[in-house]
Chains A and B, each alone.
Chain A
Amino acid sequence: QVQLVESGGGVVQPGGSLRLSCAASGFTFSSYGMHWVRQAPGKGLEWVAFIRYDGSNKYYADSVKGRFTISRDNSKNTLYLQMNSLRAEDTAVYYCAKDRKIGGDQPRLLDYWGQGTLVTVSS
Chain B
Amino acid sequence: AIQLTQSPSSLSASVGDRVTITCRASQGISSALAWYQQKPGKAPKLLIYDASSLESGVPSRFSGSGSGTDFTLTISSLQPEDFATYYCQQFNSYPRLTFGGGTKVEIK
Contacts and interface: CB of A to CB of B under 8 A. Distances in A.
Given A44-B100, A44-B102, A59 B46 contact: no
Contacts, number: 62
A107 B94 contact: yes
Given A115-B43, A116-B43, A107 B95 contact: yes
Chain B interface SS verdict (over half): loop
Counting contact residues on chain A (CB < 8 A from B), the size range is: 20 to 34
B97 interface: yes
Contact of B49 (A47, A61, A109): A109
B96 interface: yes
Contacts of A35: 97
Counting contact residues on chain B (CB < 8 A from A), the size range is: 20 to 34
Given A100-B49, A109-B34, A111-B55, A45 B94 contact: no
A53 interface: no
Contact of A47 (B45, B96, B102): B96
Interface in B67-108: 87, 89, 91, 94-102
A89 interface: no
Given A106-B94, A108-B94, A109-B91, A44 B44 contact: no
A110 B43 CA distance: 11
Interface in A99-123: 100, 106-111, 113-116
Contacts of A110: 36, 44, 46, 89
Interface of A: 35, 44-47, 50, 57, 59, 61-62, 95, 97, 100, 106-111, 113-116
21 contacts: A45-B38, A45-B87, A45-B102, A47-B96, A57-B95, A59-B96, A62-B1, A62-B96, A95-B43, A97-B43, A107-B95, A107-B96, A108-B32, A108-B94, A108-B97, A109-B49, A110-B44, A110-B89, A113-B44, A115-B43, A116-B43
